[in-house]
Amino acid sequence: MKKRRKMNLTDNEKRDIVKLIEQGKHIPEKYRFLLFDQSKQVELNWNGKSDDVTNIDLPFQIIEQVDEPRTEKVKLAQSSFDFNSGRQTAGWTNKLIWGDNKYILSSLKNGPMRDEIEKEGGIKLIYIDPPFDVGADFSMKVKVGEDSYEKKPNILEHIAYRDTWGLGTDSFLSMIYERLILMKDLLADDGSIYVHCDWRLNSAMRLILDEIFGKENFKNEIIWWYKDPSGTIKNGFKKKHDSIIFYSKSNNNIFNLDDVREEYSDVTKKQAENKTISFGRETKINPLGKIPVDVWDIPIINSQAKERLGYPTQKPEQLLEKIIKASSNINSIVADFFVGSGTLPSVAEKLNRKWICSDLGKFAIHTTRKRMIGVQREQKKMKKIGEHLKFLI
């Protein structure tokens, strides 16, 4: 039986604490370490922080199964959700889920779908790109042919905006904290998580991830450096990168080094060809490439690129390809619970990974659905489609 530590409080301090509680006032910070056992030495605190986690199991309703390219005859009938057309077949099917990811994560953890996930080895990789643009809402410009219109948030998105940003950064931290705890529970023991953020929240996110996953499981803060149109700035340096914070669930995480090696510079290749002596050693190169570094020079999506969908937070496929190759294997399950434009499932399909994705925004779900149908058509043309390429909505 664990022995409780004796509180080192004087009678006056005890009377002061009782009086403050009776008056409904805050207890001074100095008492926290005296009152509570096992207090964390370093942690991030904010108004509303709580360790309470949603623990419910809601049923998933299959709306539609997409397992073949659209034809003109069925295009109209399949362009909207149909509650009567959903069907489940044997074997794994990829899942695109519309709803609040708090309830989705809880239901995946506590419901029957957990067994289905575990049979496939569990979730090996989670990548998320949460809405770190402080104060942003769910409005966005959408192009339709030559025209564009502003897509307004629906009632669920209004509620999500309130819960995410109602109290500014405090609300966002409470939102992401609970979801990261649920994500950790869902990850396989050899799984990893990559959290995409920028300068607004990367320092807070790092502390939260330290607290949930443990400092010992921090792997990298990847710097995604990109070029974009020049702008003016008066009193600082122009911000030209995002951070992708990489943690594992344990020290036994999947990491496929040879799959993500990088090309040597022309100088190094020349030195190796000439057997140049550098730092007392002959320059040699690995035919697979050099060991990757944590600064990635990957361009943002060109305005004329085929993959560009006009979705405001869309990330390049090259970025997700590197992450998926590094931290998952063929037929592994990978997941994204803020799927946005669908870059993760698009790349996962092409790399023969299974996937689970979700988003609260209906426009994000429709964008991802349409994108995945296009990927399936392309894969069928290349004769690479398999049973796991089916997906459920």
pLDDT at residue 71, rounded to an integer: 47
pLDDT at residue 30, rounded to an integer: 66
- Kindly tell me if the per-residue pLDDT of 263 is higher than 50: yes
CATH number listed for the domain at residues 48-254+294-392: 3.40.50.150
HSE, CB side, 13 Å, CA atoms: give it for residue 106: 15
As a whole number of angstroms, the distance between CA 54 and CA 194 comes to: 22
pLDDT at residue 39, rounded to an integer: 54
Residues 159-212: tens digit of each pLDDT: 655 666 666 788 889 899 999 999 999 999 999 999 999 888 899 999 999 999
As a whole number of angstroms, the distance between CA 229 and CA 132 comes to: 21
- Kindly tell me if the per-residue pLDDT of 391 is higher than 70: no
Q: 6 versus 30: which is more confidently predicted?
A: 30
pLDDT range class, residue 72, cuts 50, 70, 90: very low
pLDDT at residue 305, rounded to an integer: 87
pLDDT at residue 221, rounded to an integer: 97
Q: Biggest alpha carbon distance in the chain?
A: 82
pLDDT at residue 205, rounded to an integer: 94
pLDDT at residue 127, rounded to an integer: 98
As a whole number of angstroms, the distance between CA 276 and CA 284 comes to: 9
Q: Output the 3-class SS for 108-160.
A: HHHCCHHHHHHHCCCEEEEEECCCCCCCCCCCEEEEECCEEEEECCCHHHHHH
Residues 202-252: tens digit of each pLDDT: 999 999 999 999 999 999 999 999 887 666 778 888 889 999 999 999 999
Residues 354-366: tens digit of each pLDDT: 999 999 888 889 9
pLDDT range class, residue 82, cuts 50, 70, 90: very low
- Kindly tell me if the per-residue pLDDT of 68 is higher than 70: no
DSSP-derived secondary structure letter, 83: T
- Kindly tell me if the per-residue pLDDT of 84 is higher than 60: no
The DSSP code sequence of 318-376 is HHHHHHHHHH--TT-EEEESS-TTTHHHHHHHHTT-EEEEEES-HHHHHHHHHHHHHHH
- What are the φ and ψ backbone dihedral angles of 96, each rounded to 5 degrees? -115, 115
- Which range is least confidently modeled, 17-31, 105-119, 143-157, 350-364? 143-157
- 155 to 124, 152, 162, 209, 235: CA distances (angstroms): 34, 10, 11, 31, 40
Instruction: Tell me the percentage of the chain whose pLDDT exceeds 90.
Output: 46
**Burial of residue 70, with CB atoms counted within 10 A of its CB: 0-12 exposed, 13-18 middle, 19 or more buried:** middle
- Answer whether 359's CB lies under 8 Å from 339's CB: yes
pLDDT at residue 34, rounded to an integer: 66
Interval 341-346 mean pLDDT? 96
- The label of the residue with tokens 């959290």 reads 195
The H or E element that residue 183 is part of is: helix 169-186
Contacts of 114 (CB under 8 A, 6+ apart): 108
Which is nearest to 350 in space by CA: 384, 312, 302? 384
Instruction: Tell me the percentage of the chain whose pLDDT exceeds 70.
Output: 76
- Answer whether 172's CB lies under 8 Å from 205's CB: no
pLDDT range class, residue 70, cuts 50, 70, 90: very low
pTM score above 0.75: yes
Q: Enumerate the CATH 3.40.50.150 domain ranges in the chain, comma separated.
A: 48-254+294-392
